[in-house]
Amino acid sequence: NAGVTQTPKFQVLKTGQSMTLQCAQDMNHEYMSWYRQDPGMGLRLIHYSVGAGITDQGEVPNGYNVSRSTTEDFPLRLLSAAPSQTSVYFCASSTVGRELFFGEGSRLTVL
């Protein structure tokens, strides 16, 4: 049982490049979400999904896109990377009313 799997673990981008952070869960959870963690800011919600085909914005959605075509996968797309998007990104999943399961994180540096 792998839980929540994020790839890649580390990535360096140049300003203006695009990329996709992958997230997959094998627990058949309805809810999936993306957070970013920054020093002094804590974890902040970027986007979330309550089921396949349903996504919505969190607290800091600008510059990011998501889609949820299957229950298992919830990729996060950076359209045109900016230095302000340098952060550690965490994907999480859960079922209704239960605890969140987090991935190990993806460390992104934008130069």
Partner 1 sequence: KQEVTQIPAALSVPEGENLVLNCSFTDSAIYNLQWFRQDPGKGLTSLLLIQSSQREQTSGRLNASLDKSSGRSTLYIAASQPGDSATYLCAVEGIQGAQKLVFGQGTRLTINP
Q: Write out the residues near partner 1 by the rule CB under 8 A.
A: 4, 31, 33, 35, 40-45, 48, 50, 56, 58, 90, 92, 94, 96-105
Q: Tell me the C-alpha distance between 54 and 107, whole Å.
A: 26
Q: How far is the CB of 32 from partner 1 (least distance, A)?
A: 9
Q: Which of 91, 98, 72, 93 is nearest to 7 (CA)?
A: 91
Residue where the block lists tokens 């994907």: 91
Q: Nearer to partner 1 by C-beta: 17 or 102? A: 102
Which is nearer to partner 1, 19 or 45 (by Cβ)?
45
Sequence-ordered list of residues with C-beta below 8 angstroms from that of 39, at least 6 positions apart, any chain: none
Q: How far is the CB of 1 from partner 1 (least distance, A)?
A: 15
Least Å from the CB of residue 16 to partner 1: 28
HSE of 8 in the Cβ direction (CA atoms, 13 Å)? 9
Q: Which is nearer to partner 1, 33 or 85 (CB)?
A: 33
85 vs 93 by CB, closer to partner 1: 93
Q: Which of 47, 46, 53 is nearest to 68 (CA)?
A: 53
Q: In a 3-state reduction of DSSP, which class is residue 111?
A: coil
